[in-house]
Amino acid sequence: MKTPFLAALAVLSLAAPAMAADTAGKAPSLTVRYADLNLRDAKDAQVMLHRIRKAASEVCGAGAGGYDATLRFETCHRETVERAVAALDAPAVRTAQTAGAVRQDVAWLP
């Protein structure tokens, strides 16, 4: 879905509400560009999901500082990715996200 006027997805305000605001009181944000992708294509959907996850990692921070910080990072990252994918409204990206979640759950099975 190459749409010129929808060339970027702002992760703006998609960070978890628990995220610390910057000095101006705004949540951190990044723009994820996808004008070069066809979001109906499975491979491009994977690329987009990777971009969203990378942006969420940057927005949520590394989470250094123990268990609580790691838990906050993981919660922020999961919620930010979920909201960004929902806002994007691209079924192939949602499918890629769901497939990735299933693979992660299976990896934890004994």
pLDDT tens across 8-36, in order?
Answer: 665 544 444 444 444 456 777 888 999 99
Confidence of residue 99 (pLDDT cuts 50, 70, 90): confident
CA gap 104, 109 in Å, rounded: 9
The CA-based dihedral angle spanning residues 15, 66, 100, 11, taken in that order and rounded to the nearest 10 degrees? 10
The closest of 4, 16, 24 to 79, measured between CA atoms, is 16
Confidence of residue 70 (pLDDT cuts 50, 70, 90): confident
Q: What is the pTM for the complete model shown?
A: 0.72
Percent of the chain with pLDDT over 70: 65
